[in-house]
Amino acid sequence: MSKKVLVLGEVREGSLRNVSFEAIAAGLQIADGGEVVGLLVGDAVADFTQELIAYGASRVITVEHPHLKNYTSDGYSQAILAVVEQENPEAIVFGHTSLGKDLSPKIASRLQSGLISDVTEIQGAGDDTVFVRPIYSGKAFEKVKIKDGIIFATIRPNNIPPLVKDDSRTGEVSSVSVDITNLRTIIKEVVRKSTEGVDLSEAKVVVAGGRGVKSGEGFEPLKELANLLGGAVGASRGACDAEYCDYSLQIGQTGKVVTPDLYIAAGISGAIQHLAGMSNSKVIVAINKDPEANIFKVADYGIVGDLFEVVPMLIEEFKALKV
Ligand code: FAD
């Protein structure tokens, strides 16, 4: 049976996050010919409605309020629950982002629905939809099917391909007015630690450094390589603990989970906790001077050598190729 699916579009620093378009593609599969309704929450989000439609939403609802300028789970859940009450969707899809991870359990408990988090693949459609998600730190995958009630899923960035953007798509846009009250948290100021460049969790290329990078300056060639490839810089916890870089770059079990098309690990040993955050990357290249390093067990391409020689060589080669 076809379904009505509500998909949350996430606006961050003046643009829609890519995972919003991936969530629409997921929504279309679950909808199975039904309707995908995009939802935008914030203080000024009307400018983004057409983009959600161009990526496949049949219509878009906005909820705007000054208290929604910065994310709070109280404010956003009031806004989203009001829309859910109005629309009665059979399924809800969020991105598995920091916001999605924080908000989805709260909404699910209010709706008394289940929650399938961190979905990397969707098989089937409509009532036969099966959600695939990693378990045991990515060592195995489980398949989950919802028998009854609302289907609620968060999808991991970079796994479900979005539709090709088509600006000729049209759809209805409407707004829901919600009185946001009883906020227990008021955000006075947001101080961002790393605002430059590509968002690590959505990057198609990640160049990550470990303790082998040896210093903050040691990260400079990695940054250059990442910039050249249009990617983001990441790190192991070893590098963060040694204060070579900020913890916002940490990848792994207690850091960010990334699934880029290309992951370059330089001077990272490949501890199980690091692999938990990157082993599902599509192509993994490891650079390590120890041929026995564990990272080579998950690498598609291994380069045994000194990263301070290998990374500059890669930079020169990519420059020559003019990527
Ligand atoms: P090391 O293990 O010290 O490896 C450095 C590597 O660099 C070595 O393999 C060495 O051969 C190589 N090297 C040195 N010099 C060079 C050179 N010039 N050229 C090339 N290679 C060189 N870790 C994470 O990464 N993410 C997590 O989220 C995380 N969560 C954790 C949670 C818990 C509860 C615990 C207990 C640990 C966690 N860890 C995590 C830590 C993890 O166990 C490892 O300690 C950490 O990943 C090691 O970082 P590393 O690979 O950079 O350092």
pLDDT number for residue 137 = 83
pLDDT number for residue 139 = 85
Cβ count within 10 A of residue 301? 12
Q: What is the CA radius of gyration of the chain?
A: 21
pLDDT number for residue 191 = 83
Query: CA 209, 20, 90 angle in degrees (round to 5)?
Result: 130
pLDDT in tens, 287-301: 999 999 999 999 999
Closest CA relative to residue 281, chosen from 306, 301, 310: 301
**Does the C-beta of 269 come closer than 6 Å to ligand 1?**
yes
pLDDT number for residue 129 = 95
Average pLDDT estimate for 257-265: 96
pLDDT number for residue 117 = 97
pLDDT band at 231, cuts 50/70/90? very high
Q: What is the mean pLDDT of the chain?
A: 95
pLDDT number for residue 138 = 83
Q: How far is the CA of 319 from the centre of ligand 1 (A)?
A: 29
Which residue would you say has higher pLDDT here, 238 or 197?
238
pLDDT in tens, 67-110: 999 999 999 999 999 999 999 999 999 999 999 999 999 999 99
What is the reported pTM?
Answer: 0.87
Q: Is 176 helix (H, G, I), strand (E, B) or coil?
A: coil
Residue 309: what residue type? E
pLDDT at 277 over 70: yes
Beta strands per DSSP E along the chain: 4-9, 11-12, 15-16, 35-42, 59-64, 91-95, 116-119, 121-123, 130-135, 140-144, 151-155, 172-175, 205-209, 232-235, 262-266, 283-288, 301-304
H helix intervals, the chain:
18-31, 49-54, 73-87, 98-111, 220-228, 237-241, 272-275, 307-321
Q: How far is the CA of 265 from the centre of ligand 1 (A)?
A: 10
Q: How far is CA 177 from the centre of its chain?
A: 28
pLDDT number for residue 186 = 87
Q: Tell me the pairing of strands 116-119 and 151-155.
A: parallel
What whole-number percentage of the chain has pLDDT above 70? 99
268 annotated as a binding-site residue = yes
In a mutational test of the pocket of ligand 1, which residue from 211, 217, 219 has the highest number of ligand atoms less than 8 Å from its CB? 211
pLDDT band at 309, cuts 50/70/90? very high
**Does the C-beta of 221 come closer than 6 Å to ligand 1?**
no
pLDDT band at 195, cuts 50/70/90? low
pLDDT at 313 over 80: yes
Q: What sign does the CA torsion over 95, 29, 142, 302 have? A: negative
Nearest atom (ligand 1) to Cα of 211: 52
Q: What are phi and psi of 242, to 5 degrees?
A: -80, 5
Which residue is closest in CA terms to ligand 1's atom 49?
A: 238
pLDDT at 193 over 80: no
H helix intervals, 122-245:
220-228, 237-241
pLDDT at 126 over 90: no
pLDDT in tens, 21-66: 999 999 999 999 999 999 999 999 999 999 999 999 999 999 999 9
pLDDT at 323 over 80: no
Q: How far is the CA of 189 from the centre of ligand 1 (A)?
A: 34
pLDDT number for residue 196 = 65
